[in-house]
Amino acid sequence: MNSNRLFSFVVYYIHKMELIKNNFSISDLENLSGIKAHTIRIWEKRYRLLSPERTKTNIRTYSLESLKKILNVALLNNNGYKISKIADLSEQEFKKAIASLIDKQIRSDYYIQEFILSMFAFDRLRFRQINTELKSKHSFEQRFEQFFMPLLMRIGLLWQSGVITPSHEHFIAVLIKEQLLLEIEVLDNTPCESEETYILFLPDGELHDIGMYYIYCCLLKKSKRVIYLGASVPLVDLENLLSLSSRINFVSSFTVAPESSTVEDYLKEVKSKLLKSSKNKFFAWGSVLETVKKSPSKQLLIASNILEIKDLI
């Protein structure tokens, strides 16, 4: 990717985002770039990297151009460039330095940055262009684990800090889910060679399903028989499926449900209702399970995260 192509979208985003959000606080820049506000102020004063405007109450405000600049400064700084060296670069040298990092495969931060900018602009086309570029170089598994997962974690933190709204988070989540569903459609044509059945579901009250769709992909890739029931499934409905197979592996994710105070009781109910047969197993991960003893039994397996679940199944 050459420097002209790399930066050709800057003007486009400025035009696009004027209708969405074009002024950022210094705390926004800190949350988006990972550079402390105090450090940004020092760099402004010492190296004149940014030129913020000020409100009537003397509060700094930054343009989209400043956001793009600080994101790229962070990218260079995180990859070995000293800030004094960055400050001395001409505009053309600055562009070439960024392009050089991309050419050297130091790409994760750059692509996540571009996905975030597409989110601010609510720009489906740009998201797909970035994803298409990644698709030409990485498997779906690599794209999800190296780019989509860190992107979702970053967006979650931005939402918690108030930089973005739920609409931004939902916009990206839908686009990632679309990619998962496309992958599932391709993999679902693979003949099933497994005698055991995997039943995937989210517990009653749980709606966060992106991770579950990824596990669905991973199991299909292994030619496993998979039934995905979706979100908010009562345990009684799962009991009715026990006759489908002599060996069933239930897989679930607990992000917000059941509540932490009731999760132990929920798992006891799982054991009594779903694990009567010694051949059945229950796999789960999620923040609600952080207080639960890891892997309470050989049949009931609790993982720290989605990647651990992927290895267990």
Q: What digits encode the pLDDT tens for the residues 14-57?
A: 334 443 456 788 888 887 788 999 999 999 999 988 888 888 88
Q: Is 284 exposed, middle or buried (0-12, 13-18, 19+ CB in 10 A)?
A: buried
pLDDT in tens, 189-226: 766 766 789 999 999 988 889 999 999 999 999 989 99
Using DSSP, state whether 5 is helix, strand or coil: helix
CB 36, CB 76: distance < 8 Å: no
Which of 86-95, 154-163, 178-187, 294-303 bottoms out in mean pLDDT, i.e. has the lowest?
154-163
Percentage of residues in the chain having pLDDT higher than 70: 86
Q: Which of 309, 300, 230, 226 is nearest to 263 (CA)?
A: 300
Rounded CA separation 125/161 (Å):
27
- Write out the two tokens for 294: 């890891």
Give, as one character, the DSSP assignment of residue 234.
Answer: -
Amino acid (one-letter) located at 64: L
Confidence check: pLDDT of 239 > 50: yes
pLDDT in tens, 169-180: 899 999 999 999
Its pTM stands at: 0.71
- Stretch 226-245: mean pLDDT: 92
Rounded CA separation 282/30 (Å):
41
pLDDT at residue 295, rounded to an integer: 65
Q: Compute the chain's Rg from CA coordinates.
A: 23
- Write out the two tokens for 305: 């995260």
Sign of CA dihedral 272, 274, 278, 283: negative
Q: pLDDT confidence of 107, banded at 50, 70, 90? A: low
Indicate the CATH number for domain 1-106: 1.10.1660.10
pLDDT at residue 80, rounded to an integer: 86
Rounded CA separation 272/256 (Å):
23
Question: Which one has a higher pLDDT value, 158 or 211?
Answer: 211
Rounded CA separation 155/153 (Å):
5
| CATH architecture of the domain covering 189-312 | 3-Layer(aba) Sandwich (3.40)
Rounded CA separation 273/270 (Å):
5
Instruction: Give the helix ranges, DSSP H, for the chain.
Output: 3-7, 9-17, 26-33, 37-47, 64-78, 83-88, 91-103, 108-120, 124-135, 140-143, 149-160, 166-187, 210-221, 235-239, 263-274, 306-312
Question: Of all helices (H) and strands (E), which one includes residue 198?
Answer: strand 197-201
Question: Which one has a higher pLDDT value, 7 or 111?
Answer: 111
Rounded CA separation 115/129 (Å):
10
Q: How many residues does the chain have?
A: 313
pLDDT at residue 284, rounded to an integer: 94
